[in-house]
Amino acid sequence: MKAQDLIPMIDQIVPYKRYGKIKRVIGLLLESQGPATSIGDVCYIYTGSGRKKILAEVIGFREDYCVLMPYSTIQEISPGSLVEALGKPLEIKAGSALIGQVVDALGFPLDGSTLPKGLVPVQTEQQPPNPLKRPTINEIISVGVRAIDSLLTVGKGQRIGIFAGSGVGKSTLLGMMAKETQADVNVIGLIGERGREVKEFIERDLGDEGLKKSVVVAATSDQPALMRIKGALTATAIAEHFRDQGANVLLMMDSVTRVAMAQREIGLAIGEPPTTKGYTPSVFALLPRLLERTGTSEKGSITAFYTVLVDGDDLNEPIADTVRGILDGHFVLDRSLANQGHFPAINILNSVSRLMNQLVTPEHLKAAEMLRETYGKYLQSEDLIQIGAYKKGASREIDEAIRLYPKIKDFLKQKTNERSSFEKSLQLLGHVMEEGI
């Protein structure tokens, strides 16, 4: 190694260490006298026995005390435990060697193995790209789902919310897109999931085919709130690293609602005032800061899908409403469709891709609008049709909708192992609507 290569390494060496001592523990929070540090920096807390050190983050200050929140449980921390300031925010390791791995919120392999070589350090907190330096989105990305590619076309760098209640097929849809997408690499954040669901998603929904071009970041529901937030930030930071290498990345996060719930826990713990449904102001500051980091940059793109859990299928609850206002489109999964065995259960009439009009050809757009109109016309008259109150010939539009409805239903359904390229989806759309595309 040359002498000039050692200079940056020497500059990073901290000549002295800063220490403090734990003075108080209140619920999820630790208060320490010292060390001199800044908000967002990480610290080591040495347990009473001194054999174990716990990672914690500085989240605020109260009078003369530092307020810390640990990344793990605090059972072994005692009054007087030593706190060592590292003088920098959390860093994780990222790189192409991480593809095919399942890691935790701190970027370490979840199976306990060692990290592969060739990774570089990346900070989990990054600034979004400069708005004036974001290239416009003008290229389509196929996700392999017929209803999306044909009727809700997505562009490279677009950010979409998938809104649904529990058990409507979000994870299955994400796994399907991960296997069939044209993206160079997938980054999947499983935030606040049940521990049982992580392995099920990887083996059943993602499969070996999807995993070999994916990085999975898992932070389960039993972990502290800070770890769940870090899981979302780590997944985003890994996606940003691949984007900076010039890749087209597909980021999928399930779910952003649990990230908001974790931030609410932290906000309430440090004394923030609760607002609508108990969510604190910091929640509504975190969401745009997280979601705006994805999208296009001068080097590559991150196409992002964020799932949003809606309580009681209420699309106007605070988190759903806020996320929908930030993103570039929303797909609504309908429980009534799922109950009928219709998969994917995308309600195409309540869903929208805000960039579709500027991405597709006029012929494609015309056929998609015709299908929506015909499908909507049938659903408006469905009750009359089912009870036999509608007489054939009363309306030419309804007659046409009745004729095409079975073909439309078959077109919108897709088995999880059924492949459908973008070109094939367009061809089938034209066949259903009897239009040339």
Token look-up 């046409």 returns 400
The residue among 2 and 87 whose pLDDT is bigger is 87
Running DSSP on this structure, what letter comes out for residue 95?
S
User: Per-residue pLDDT tens for 277-297?
Assistant: 889 999 999 999 999 999 999
The three-point CA angle 255-259-261 to 5° equals: 110
User: Per-residue pLDDT tens for 63-93?
Assistant: 888 999 988 877 778 888 889 898 888 899 9
pLDDT average, residue stretch 27-39: 86
Residue 183 has pLDDT above 70, yes or no: yes
Q: According to the model, what pLDDT value does residue 414 have?
A: 93
Same domain, 81 and 153: no
In a domain, 334, yes or no: yes
Cβ-contact 2, 63 below 8 angstroms: no
Same domain, 409 and 331: no
Q: Which domain holds residue 398?
A: 363-435
Residue 251 has pLDDT above 80, yes or no: yes
Q: Distance (Å, rounded) from C-alpha 344 to C-alpha 341?
A: 9
Helix axes 396-412, 422-432, angle to 10 degrees: 150
Residue 375 has pLDDT above 70, yes or no: yes
First to last CA, the chain: 60
In a domain, 9, yes or no: no
Report CA torsion sign: 421, 422, 423, 427. Answer: positive
Q: What percent of the chain has pLDDT over 70?
A: 94
Q: Distance (Å, rounded) from C-alpha 163 to C-alpha 309?
A: 6
Q: According to the model, what pLDDT value does residue 433 have?
A: 86
Amino acid at residue number 7: I
Report CA torsion sign: 319, 323, 326, 332. Answer: negative
Same domain, 151 and 112: yes
Q: What percent of the chain has pLDDT over 90?
A: 49
User: Per-residue pLDDT tens for 119-149?
Assistant: 999 999 889 989 999 999 999 999 999 999 9
Token look-up 């898992």 returns 218
Same domain, 41 and 173: no
Same domain, 345 and 382: no
Q: Distance (Å, rounded) from C-alpha 308 to C-alpha 326?
A: 13
Q: According to the model, what pLDDT value does residue 306 have?
A: 96
Q: According to the model, what pLDDT value does residue 154 have?
A: 95
| The total number of structural domains that make up the chain | 3
Q: For 116-141, give one letter per residue: b (16+ CB within 10 A) or e.
A: eeebeebebeeebbeeeebbebeebb
Mean pLDDT, all residues of the chain: 88
Residue 12 has pLDDT above 80, yes or no: no
Q: According to the model, what pLDDT value does residue 368 have?
A: 95
Residue ranges of alpha helices (H) inside 181-272 are 195-200, 207-211, 225-244, 256-269
User: Per-residue pLDDT tens for 209-241?
Assistant: 888 899 999 999 889 899 999 999 999 999 999
Asked if residue 255 has a cis previous peptide bond (ω within 30° of 0), the answer is yes
Question: Distance of CA 156 to CAs 96, 188, 239, 350, Å?
Answer: 20, 17, 14, 22
Residue 342 has pLDDT above 70, yes or no: yes
Same domain, 155 and 296: yes
Closest CA to 251 of 198, 160, 171, 187: 187
Same domain, 224 and 302: yes
pLDDT class of 197 with cuts at 50, 70, 90:
confident
The three-point CA angle 287-247-133 to 5° equals: 60
The least confident of 40-49, 114-123, 285-294 is 40-49
**pTM > 0.75:** yes
Q: Distance (Å, rounded) from C-alpha 330 to C-alpha 351?
A: 6
Q: According to the model, what pLDDT value does residue 436 have?
A: 60
Same domain, 174 and 212: yes
Q: According to the model, what pLDDT value does residue 278 have?
A: 87
User: Per-residue pLDDT tens for 396-406?
Assistant: 888 898 899 99
Residue 11 has pLDDT above 60, yes or no: no
Q: How far from chain centre, in Å, is Cα 322?
A: 15
Same domain, 189 and 277: yes
List CB contacts of 280: < 8 A, sequence separation 6 or more.
263, 264, 267, 268, 272, 273, 274
List CB contacts of 336: < 8 A, sequence separation 6 or more.
none
Q: Distance (Å, rounded) from C-alpha 241 to C-alpha 165?
A: 32
State which of 328, 359, 390 marks the end of a domain: 359
Q: According to the model, what pLDDT value does residue 391 have?
A: 79
State which of 41, 58, 89 marks the end of a domain: 89
Look up the CATH number of the domain holding residue 68. Answer: 2.40.30.20
Tell me the three state secondary structure of residue 152.
Answer: coil
